[in-house]
A = this chain, B = another copy of it.
């Protein structure tokens, strides 16, 4: 699923452009050009190059989960029993295919997976646990943390 080994050299212009686009990718290229001292076409070419190289992976609208009726964010630590490559791959595939799972990381340490889940209510979460964890006999243990408040949320990568 990580399809971007693309390592491309970025200069200061590129980094400045990325900093802007990570905050608002609807900024006109002309405005970006003014900010970084480049013409609009130059900005455009750089954006295109970075997109093709996989540096820019997507352009998305960030939506308030509550507005869509999914006000609850939940973190789950998952420990699995058998860590054979096949079992791990199966788990990855299932987690990736579940829409309620917003983020999924395979981690080192006492647990194996960390999930960020967005659901409409606790009943929906319980149904999900039944399917994903209790219904999977390779899951040894899982621990749930319910978010009471989202202090900061984004995917922004610090520049410089």
A contact residues vs B (CB 8 Å cutoff): 1-2, 4, 6-8, 10, 15, 18, 21-26, 50, 53-68, 70, 73, 75, 92, 95-96, 99-111, 113-114, 118, 143-159
Contact = CB atoms under 8 A, between A and B. Distances in A.
Select the residue from A1, A63, A153 with max chain B CB neighbours within 10 A.
A63
A9 to B, nearest CB: 10
Contacts of A66: 4, 7
Given A60-B156, A62-B56, A68 B108 contact: no
Contact of A154 (B55, B144, B155): B155
A60 B109 contact: no
A63 B157 contact: yes
Nearest to A93: B151
A105 B149 contact: yes
Given A96-B152, A105-B151, A63 B55 contact: yes
B61 A59 contact: yes
B157 A22 contact: no
Contact of A24 (B2, B60, B64): B60
A108 B148 contact: yes
A55 B60 contact: no
Contacts of A65: 157
A144 B75 contact: no
Given A64-B55, A109-B146, A152-B102, A157 B118 contact: yes
A18 B8 CA distance: 32
A134 B33 CA distance: 42
B75 A114 contact: yes
